[in-house]
Amino acid sequence: MFFATGDLMWNWLQSVIGIFGTDLPRELLVALAAIAVAFVLPLGKRRRLVQVPIIFLLLAPLPIAAAGLFPESIDLNRFLGLGIHFFLITSIVQSLLIIFCISIWEQVSRPMPKIFFDVLRWSGTILALFVVLLESGADPAELFTGSAVLTAVMGFALKDTLGNVFAGLAIHAEQPFELGDWIQYDTNQAHIGKVTEINWRATKVITLDEAEVIIPNGQLAQASIRNFTKPQRWSRRSLFVVAPYEESPQRVQQIMLEAIRGSFGVLEHPAASVVTNDFKERGIEYWVRLFTTEFDKRDRVDGMARDRIWYALARHGIKIPVATQAIRLTHLPTEAASSFDEILKQRKEILSEVDLLGMLSEDQMLQLASDAVQETFASGEEIIRQGDLGSSMFIIESGNVDVTVSDSGSAPTRLAILSSKDVFGEMSLMTGAQRSATVTAMVETRILRIDKPAMSKLLTVEPLLVKRASEYLVGRQVARFEIISQIEKQAPSSIDLFERIKKFFAI
What kind of architecture, by CATH, is found in domain 176-227? Answer: Roll (2.30)
Cα separation, 445 vs 134, whole angstroms: 83
CA distances, 429 to each of 272, 280, 356, 375, 446 (Å): 31, 41, 12, 17, 19
What kind of architecture, by CATH, is found in domain 235-315? Answer: 2-Layer Sandwich (3.30)
- Give the strand pairing for 202-207 and 212-216: antiparallel
Cα separation, 38 vs 61, whole angstroms: 22
Q: Phi and psi of 450, rounded to 5°?
A: -110, 120
- Profile the chain (507 residues) by mean pLDDT over runs of 10 residues: 47 48 68 78 71 79 62 59 77 79 67 68 77 66 54 52 65 75 83 84 85 83 82 90 92 94 92 93 94 91 94 93 67 57 84 79 85 89 90 91 84 87 84 87 91 83 71 64 49 52 54
How confident is the model at residue 209, as a pLDDT? 83
Q: Would you give the end-to-end CA distance of the chain in angstroms? A: 125
Cα separation, 35 vs 32, whole angstroms: 5
Q: Residue 53: is the preceding peptide bond cis (ω within 30°)?
A: no
Radius of gyration of the chain (CA): 39
Burial of 111 (0-12, 13-18, 19+ CB in 10 A): exposed
Phi-psi region of 185 (alpha: psi -120 to 50; beta: other; left: phi over 0): alpha
Residue type, 31: A
The residues with which 440 forms a beta bridge, in sequence order, are 382, 402
How confident is the model at residue 474, as a pLDDT? 64
How confident is the model at residue 188, as a pLDDT? 79
Cα separation, 323 vs 276, whole angstroms: 19
CA distances, 303 to each of 237, 285, 298, 300, 392 (Å): 11, 18, 8, 5, 30
Cα separation, 101 vs 110, whole angstroms: 11
Burial of 95 (0-12, 13-18, 19+ CB in 10 A): buried
Burial of 373 (0-12, 13-18, 19+ CB in 10 A): middle
Tally helices (H) and strands (E) across the chain.
Answer: 19, 16
How confident is the model at residue 507, as a pLDDT? 58
How confident is the model at residue 475, as a pLDDT? 63
**CATH number belonging to domain 334-504:** 2.60.120.10
pTM of the full structure: 0.59
How confident is the model at residue 316, as a pLDDT? 92
Residue type, 124: G
Instruction: Say if CB 309 and CB 259 are below 8 A apart.
Output: yes
Residue ranges per structural domain of the chain: 2-157, 176-227, 235-315, 334-504
Instruction: Say if CB 306 and CB 314 are below 8 A apart.
Output: no
Cα separation, 35 vs 396, whole angstroms: 72
> 338-347 burial, b for 16+ CB within 10 Å, e for fewer?
eeeeebbeeb
Cα separation, 346 vs 421, whole angstroms: 12
